[in-house]
Structure formats: C-alpha cells, structure tokens
Structure 1
C-alpha cells in the first residue's frame, strides 16, 4: 500500500485515449497519494497543456504512441517533471535508449498495476526504475559515449539523432528560407510534430535555430538524403 503524504504526487499522463483511460483510473485508485494533473494524447498536446498549468511531479509517457525517443527528448527538455515510460516493447536496447534520453525508467505493459504505482512513487523520490542488467548496460554505454565524445564530440552528437530526425535535417538543409509548412508537407507530418523534431535536434546538436541547423548540416554532410 502506498503511504499517504500531505501533498499528493501530481501525475500527468501522455497516452492514446484507450491506454490513457486505463492509466487515469489507475491513478485515481491511488488517491490521495497520487493525483491526476492532466491527460494528453501526445507530447505535442502535453506541452501545450503544461504551458498553462503548474508542472507535474511525474509524467507517465506511453512511448508506443510516439515516434521513437525523439518525443521523449523534447518532453525532457521542456518540462522539469520526471518522466516514466510505459511500453509494450521488450527491446532492451530501446529501454536503454529511453533512459539515456532522460527518462527515469521503463515499465512494461505486462507488469501489474501495483508495479506501475510503485514505479511512479520511486521515480518521484528521484530513483531510477531499471533492473541491474540495464544499469550495467547503461553505465557501459555512458562510458563509451564519454570516450567517443572526447575523440569526436560532433560525431557523437550526430549518432544520437534518430532516423526521422536525420530525414528532417536532410529536408530542411535543402532550403534555409522555406516556411516550416513546406517541410512538414514534404515529410508527411504535422507542423507540431516538425517543431518537436526541431526542438529535439537543436538540443542534441547544441544549435539555436534553423540557420544554425542549415550550416551544421552542410558542414557535416547531413544534407544528403538517407
């Protein structure tokens, strides 16, 4: 049973409607320890909501409804909340990449509701929700990244980009002046999604704007189509 504290843990959910429905009711069963702070169907919608309200303590993100870890990077960069990911994937590499991208842990959808509630509480306390084997893998990857960064920091930054982010850079490197709507249509995504991709790209590459991205892409050969 969860301990009752004076101030409930504020939980914000980011999941597609069917999954969100179940998560919302699970959080409600843990009241007053947990309190629902908001529900959004996507990271883009979540960021709009969070601009108008106090930041939650924990964001529970259903990664299965998002375009890879790029959305997690955006969420992590734009909110101070601790992010806990839920996913139906058993891919250890994906779980590791989620933590490396800033999440505090991953809960598989086959786990019991009690496990998810416990994970939310532990993440709120600042603990990582990962097993020992994942801890070892992540430590080794961080060590490898640190060594690679020392040798070639730009190559390491580029290695962090997802395929979709590389495609976005390639498209936008073709014309520094075209409006975002043109690139969104070319990539068959919404302008909201394009902005999310750009926020993630800027964060990973240490850039400030599209002009910086245009110059960086041509300097490092990212303007070529994948």
Structure 2
C-alpha cells in the first residue's frame, strides 16, 4: 500500500523543529501504515493547516511552547484524535490534558515503537493512558459531575470550551471595549467573535454583554485562562 493510500493513518506533528524532524523521520519510516500530512511548531500554526487538510491523529510535543489551554483549544476545533508526547512526570498536568480531550500520552523515555503503536490505537478509538491515570481521571470526573448536580450554574459553565472561556475573560476584562478590539486581542475576526458570543449566551442563558459581564464576575470567569 503506497504512501497516501486512503487507508493510511494521516498524521500531523506539532513540535519545535529539532524534535519535529526526529518525529517526522520516525513516522515516515513506518510507511505505508502512516502518512505525515503536515507539521507545525505550535498549535497556532497548526489550525489553518488542519482546516485545509484534516488528519486522523495529531501528535503534539507537550514539552514545547504550548500549554494545556492551547491543547484544549486544538482539541475543541479539530476532529482529529490528539496524542501528546512528553518527558514530564507531573501527574496533575498529564491528567489535565486527558481531561481536556487528549486520547493518549506517550513518555519520551519509551521506545519509538510505543509511539507508533499509540498512534495506531488512538486512531482506532482507544485511549492510550496508564491505569493509574485512568483511575484518577474517573474519580475526578465523578467528583465534577456531583458538584455540577449540586450547582446548576457550574453545570452550564462546564459546557464552555476553552476558547469560549478565553472569550468571556476578554469581554469581561474590558467591558467597554468594542467588539473589534476584543476580536483583535483574541486574534479572531469580529464574525468569529459574534459566533462565540452567540454560543456562550445560549449555553449560559444570557442575552447581552452586560449579562455576560455580571455572570463572569459572579463566577470568576473574568480572569484569563
């Protein structure tokens, strides 16, 4: 089966240049099962590439310049399954990225074949995380659901995406700023800002920026995430 076959697993890589080069050589060397469709240094560069040509799996170096919020934003905006590569031993950080929607975590100390296997399994719909992480995440999700049942407002807030929370913080942090200014600060168009606000109003049961400012202040959503 040649590279580019419809049944190959299409991969996008996000890492700083030196790490990205090594990852690309590894994945390309495993053809025809895998195809590196595109690469980028950071999430912001990835989004337009993934909009033009969707892929099956995104492999992201978590030790690069992007934080958990960028990972959550990427997951919210693309259909691809996301797998992260890391040398971190911070269990809380790794749990957060999985809670944000990451389907797999591979440690850099593991053999290259493990990463290739993880890409395959994540593509097939499986989670690639260790049992300890799965147990911690299950308990945290159960705790959050219990808290949401006791507080309807928290339940609404839980439906917000990372990008929507960033939008709320930007709007509430400068309530008098015109939409054009807010959109510029978020590096989005005014049209996209209006779409975000429409979704936010619907989820939170609000009808105006004044309502949003009051809600954000009351629930501490006016701080940058």
Same fold per superposition (TM over 0.5): yes
Provide closer, same or farther for how the CA distance between residues 67 and 184 of structure 1 changes in structure 2, counting only shifts above 3 A.
farther
Cα distance in 1 for partners of 2:57, 2:40 equals 14
Q: Which moved more, 1:133-142 or 1:176-185?
A: 176-185
CA distance in 1 between partners of 2:224 and 2:70 (Å): 22
Structure 1 residues 51 and 177 mapped into 2: Cα distance closer, same or farther (>3 Å)? same
Q: 1:64 is paired with a residue of what secondary structure?
A: coil
Judge conservation of contact 2:159–2:203 (CA < 8 Å) in 1: no
Q: Which runs of 4+ in 1 moved over 4 A?
A: 156-161, 165-171, 179-185, 205-210
Partner of 1:107: 106
Number of residue pairs matched by the alignment: 211
Partner of 2:71: 72
Deviation at 1:224, TM superposition (A): 6.8
* C-alpha distance in 2 between matches for 1:224 and 1:146: 23
Report the aligned-residue RMSD: 3.8
Deviates further, 23-32 or 214-223:
214-223
Alpha-carbon distance in 2 for matches of 1:17, 1:62: 11
> For 2:126, what is the secondary structure of its paired residue?
coil
Structure 1 residues 32 and 210: CA distance shift in structure 2, 3 A: farther
TM-score, scaled to structure 1: 0.76
| Matching residue of 1:34 | 34
3-state DSSP of counterpart to 2:52: coil
Equivalent residue runs for 1:89-168 within 5 Å: 89-155=88-154
CA distance in 2, matches of 1:15, 1:30: 19
Q: In structure 1, what is the equivalent of residue 60 of structure 2?
A: 61
In 1, distance between residues paired with 2:118 and 2:9? 12
Deviation at 1:82, TM superposition (A): 0.6
Task: Show CA shifts across 1:90-129 (max 9, x none).
Answer: 1111111111110101111111111111111111111100
| Shift of residue 68, structure 1, vs aligned partner | 2.2
Supply the distance in 1 between the matched residues of 2:150 and 2:64 (Cα, whole angstroms): 36
Whose RCO is larger (CA < 8 A, sep 6+)? Answer: 1
Question: What residue is the counterpart of 1:220 in the other structure?
Answer: 219
